[in-house]
């Protein structure tokens, strides 16, 4: 009973929040509702016994991603409403139709009864401990590669926003400084 109420409340709220994000004209509304939706999704994770994932969702998404967007907002003028050209009607209808079709397709039950868990969740063991065990054995290599990926993103972000980009050596003459 508790799960049912929680599920429907959370679903309604996330759908509402994300729908606001993709339809609103104001960047700040979009960002706030995105942050709200992401926090509610973490509630969904707690409901699904993925506690550690829920905490990571809050820390990384709302703590890092949304904070990064919020800082970027300093650069862009966010008080003005966004003016956008309208998308063509046929294109719009196609998108809605294919979305509805996708949702209908995914109502087919996908889980199979014969699947045996390869990395089972243990009873009576904390989720974080369980996750740590798998993450640092089976998924050690992807974990390290993810570290490299974050390094790449950091280097990329820094040099793109850096001062060296202001003067363009590709376009100025050879002997100019």
CA dist 33 and 15 (Å) reads 10
Site for another protein in 2-61 (CB under 8 A): 3-4, 7, 11, 14-15, 18-19, 21-22, 27, 30-31, 34, 37-38, 41, 44-45, 48-50, 52-53, 56-57, 60-61
Binding residue for another protein, selected from 89, 90, 148, 163, defined by CB under 8 A: 148
- List Cβ neighbours of 61 (8 Å cut-off, separation of 6 or more): 35, 38, 42
Does residue 139 bind another protein (CB under 8 A)? yes
Spatial distance between the Cα atoms of 40 and 9, rounded to a whole number of angstroms: 10
Shortest distance (Å) from residue 7 CB to another protein: 5
Nearest by Cα to 119 from 132, 104, 106, 109 = 132
Q: How far is the CB of 32 from another protein (least distance, A)?
A: 11
Shortest distance in whole angstroms from residue 9 CB to another protein: 12
Residue 79 Cβ vs another protein, minimum distance, rounded to whole Å? 14
Beta carbons within 8 Å of 176's beta carbon, 6+ residues apart: none
Distance CA 126, CA 139 (A): 19
CB 38 within 8 Å of CB 13? no
Q: How far is CA 28 from CA 105, 120, 134, in A?
A: 34, 42, 39
Residue from 9, 64, 80, 93 touching another protein (CB under 8 A): that is 64
Subset of residues 111 to 130 that bind another protein, contact rule: CB under 8 A: 111-112, 114-122, 125, 129-130
Q: Among residue numbers 92 through 111, which ones bind another protein (CB under 8 A)?
A: 92, 95-96, 99-100, 102-103, 105-111
Total residues contacting another protein by CB under 8 A comes to: 101
């Amino acid at each position: 009973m508790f799960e049912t109420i929680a599920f429907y409340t959370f679903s309604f709220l996330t759908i509402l929040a994300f729908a606001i994000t993709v339809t609103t004209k104001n960047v700040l509304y979009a960002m706030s509702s995105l942050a709200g939706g992401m926090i509610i999704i973490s509630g969904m994770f707690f409901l699904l016994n993925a506690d550690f994932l829920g905490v990571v969702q809050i820390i990384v998404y709302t703590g890092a991603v949304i904070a990064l967007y919020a800082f970027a907002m300093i650069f862009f003028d966010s008080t003005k409403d966004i003016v956008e050209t309208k998308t063509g009607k046929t294109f719009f209808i196609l998108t809605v139709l294919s979305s509805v079709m996708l949702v209908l397709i995914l109502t087919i039950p996908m889980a199979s009864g014969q699947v045996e868990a390869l990395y089972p969740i243990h009873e009576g063991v904390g989720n974080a401990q369980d996750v740590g065990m798998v993450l640092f054995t089976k998924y050690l290599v992807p974990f390290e590669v993810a570290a490299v990926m974050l390094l790449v993103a950091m280097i990329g972000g820094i040099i793109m926003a850096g001062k060296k980009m202001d003067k363009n050596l590709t376009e100025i003459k050879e002997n100019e400084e």
